[in-house]
Structure 1
């Protein structure tokens, strides 16, 4: 077995050289790929290629040639995006396991979940007196759930346990991208959560980055047609881009809305990052306006083309883009329960309706 770490490599032309160096092959020929394929031809071995997403085209070409010329060689690739070569089998790695609910969770029960186990292990390394008790278990479970079970995020969070404590750390997670940093070891992109997301975001073409920013307004599941409305794209074009973002692990496939459309969802960590990028781009106001208009239109269709709802006291309420009642939007109405609006000042009576937040 040979291991090749592509993270430090910047030039795609050096991919064959990196693999050759890992195998110990000294190449005297100008054609490195030919020499490498000849060297591997009769060997039964495994090539482990790590961090391939930034050089995916060059690595895919190299792997294809190796597999054609050296049929006994197998490759194991880690990448945020598939190589898309013949015979490739893709396995998506989800976040570590977290409990669905932290209510009445004991420490013993909590430690059966891999995310909590990792957090406690790293927290103990950071602060040797840290012990997970029953009192802290629900808060730690909530931390792990808010961080989507992402191993890097959990390790970075555990490093701050000595500064904030469990409850303080949970309260700080609304600013998670700035909070989770300061690790000195490892590659630069693994030292902070923001740096890891910057790495992936920086690899996106402009049109894919634009859609990722746009869909960050969705707090829950959404369809390609929903994303198209916010990104101002045809539904088919939006669906293709969403598929690419999902292939790069920046979106999760959340199931199927019906026989025609897939449901997508952003992890909370990625969504927080996308919202920051949306604001930084100056696109947040237009995205939220489009979101409100889309919700108005969807609700109108569901209500028989009527956009009128009623307050709890029976007075009519018109759902419009300028409406002052605002609730989180979680996708088309059929995916929602009955939402209660949140007002900037107390309303005269409970109000029900849906707009953008």
Structure 2
């Protein structure tokens, strides 16, 4: 048998299990023909079949060319759908078999394909000549650490069009791997894995504390390889207003509301064509709102799967209910194993006496095998014996013994929580209840604020005690410890807070705390640590939402305005536009009252242009300028007045942006980096080249001198944009530096604009292959954020690029979608491209193709653009 560097061919029949179940006899006959065809094709080309794997074979060749020839010959003759994978590498022959990493690579390459498809790895592709290959790019394969370059063999007689490769990127999504092992749920995990693929919506139902969320996270984590666009956890426990469910989902997925559409419809539209698993956790208190949104999502996309947890079914179409029961409670049961594991974490010396074992079994039985109740009981092992714990349960859970028939399961859990709560000191009780006002967790400073404590160390001591008693969870993974409560405990603590008459005071303290963070958060944003500010916004968004809502509804206008303003500053540059709606709500509340921050509010409100409300944004822009000119209100920080320009560009009026910037520079002293950069951009769009050059002079020095990454990358964007035609090489180099800064610092909106500008530079003056990379980056960025208005820009440049190449039909289709007042102003070459397309195609043909593009959905045009980019990339080699 050959050894050293060899080439392996692995094959497998797609859907063989289903075929065996449908007609076993026919499958036997087909399999005989299948085996004969493969054996002949392999043997005729010097290959050796060294293993059979169920319905497939493993063969080895001395030559990659012969392996590919054998695969092509076999595929042309096979009647069953066989997927094939080829990989080359060093292997050791031993005992009639082969060993080495290359075998696993060949198997994984094969598993990524579909029936009738031949795939091979990059090393094999490099060794071939005269073979037509389609590049699928670098892909992550299960159990292989590094991405693998994958190619598809194309030849006469073979299929050409196949579904997307079955590969996965574990970095997609926001799901974290569960921190602890799952005990006693192996059967449930297996059943749910099957249900997840068989049904569009799977809902885990059961009592509070039974472990629905933990089970859902385990199933979702194991399902990652099957969802190419990621697994996303949407935690609804902190969403108290049903109307805010779409906002919470949009915030997690980074989707913005589109013009003329509800937020729910915008979410559904953005998910069209995505292969994603969405985990909706804790739906019971917002059941109808969750069900309505899920209905919209599954109606728009056949590739999205939903895994939900709730105490009752959602009652949506295609829903499969999966009941999650309590753990078994016998002597060798999962419940006992769970108690022992959790107890030994706090009391490693837990005894193994027979009476101890009997006591543990009784504890688990009396707690009905509910995991949360068991964990709460186990946490007490730090301060008492097992038998003391068992005897205490007799006193605390008398209702469980006396009248279980009339009780709902959540009351069983409630008494477990009450028992733990009764064991707290006064300081622990006080802090636990006031911290129930937090949505999505809190830090030490937040706990001290709502607890009205001036002593952080005293607060820390109480938090530590609550963590040890399993009433709080401490998560240090981000580098700063964050605390959270299980939702059942949070609801119980909140009930105690309300009953004690202290809820309003705590919620007001919560809102004031987040309002008071304005200066600190903005100081972080206005520094080299800018990314930390964006990360903080994402972590605290649920708290900011709750704080704003309470302040706005309870005469806390100053707090509401502060929260809305700094959240909008951070959110807009990260393309998170939910806080803009808060700004508009404050403006509506202020009315004609001359609030000190009115000018700032109007400036921030202009960001509504990004959600498609350009005319309203212009109205806010005019009100902002009037307020600023009056000098009756607080100054607008960070030269944010220049940000008004987005509204003017959206309606095709760059001259108004230029006028605003000139006025800023004349009116106030200072370096005016943002104002000059904005003027340079606006002047370029109006054709005032000399003014643009003058305004941009010194921006390179300013970009290097500032500690604010947003200021730096925005200045570099403007400098390069001004020189995009006169000195494209310099423009490209400068904007590439800006792109790196934007990506490193989290300035997603500037990153998108830079990617758009660089795609134009590369397409017009540089390497077409590089241009394709920037087109892909820009379109992906804007599509993923749901910013479909700005997505017109890279598509307009792409249409122009295709027109220059002579790809007239794709150019016409994309131009029908992309040509509008925004792109005509910012990238006027689209107008010339459209005129040329009308000439070469004829008016009737062009109009028909453009109408096709105009009528495409956002997902449809994005996918069409990506397909055309891939086609051209293949042609360019």
Q: What TM-score results when the alignment is normalised by the length of structure 1?
A: 0.49
Larger Rg: 2
Which is bigger in relative contact order (C-alpha 8 A, separation at least 6)? 1
